[in-house]
Copies of this chain bind each other. A is one copy, B any other.
Amino acid sequence: MSGATLRFQRLHAELRARICLLDYPPATRLSEAALAEEFGTSRTPLRRVLARLEDEGLLESRHGVGTLVTDVEIGEMAQVYALRLELAQLAGTLDPLPVTPHVLNEMQSFVRRGQALLATPEARAFAQLNMDYHGFGLSLTGNPALREISERLYYRTARIWLKSIPHMDLADECAIFLSEMRETRTALRAGDTQAAALIRRAHISMSVRRMS
């Protein structure tokens, strides 16, 4: 892979994370010039990253105004989550990949991170773990198209949880998350990817109800 492509992916992942971890809250105005300087490039390659984030619905560029971080409305969230429920389940039935020792090792490390989080609950660390865990979940399906659109939809509404957590019980959320990961570990140890997908669906469903 070329250097330009790698830089693009690095900047894209970095800015996407900043948006979804609320380092850049909704309505934040980003400066092309400032970001270009921070990352040591000119505006041109940076603008390609911003254009993609705009295509993904995380940014909105307005001529003469600036590049603004979008907000996520409650109605949009409900519709995206309704779709994510179905896609999560499909990951278990469409093209499930065999559960390798490597997968089990990764799962185990996620459980450990979940335990550490439960010991010292912290919203941003939760959101980061959730983001990483979502990426892990994608690795369980062999359908690239499903992976692509699941990732797209996940990042589209990932900010909702961090925005909702002030009205929720953080310790409870950490305990529930750890519980989900333990259940999933059991399913994966049995080689049952479909069960893991159903667990995922169930927890996404319950999570959105707690946020509403």
**Chain A positions near chain B (C-beta within 8 angstroms):** 2, 4, 48, 51-52, 55, 63, 76, 79-80, 82-83, 86, 90, 94-95, 142-146, 149, 152-153, 156
Contact = CB atoms under 8 A, between A and B. Distances in A.
28 contacts: A2-B63, A4-B63, A48-B48, A48-B51, A51-B51, A52-B55, A55-B55, A76-B144, A76-B145, A79-B94, A79-B142, A79-B143, A79-B144, A79-B145, A82-B95, A82-B143, A83-B90, A83-B94, A83-B145, A83-B146, A83-B149, A86-B86, A86-B90, A86-B94, A145-B153, A149-B149, A149-B152, A149-B153
Taken together, the copies of this chain in the complex come to: 2
A83 B51 contact: no
A90 B83 CA distance: 8
A48 B149 CA distance: 21
A111 to B, nearest CB: 30
Nearest to A2: B63
Contacts of A90: 83, 86
Nearest to A86: B90
Contacts of A143: 79, 82-83
Contact of A156 (B51, B80, B94, B145): B145
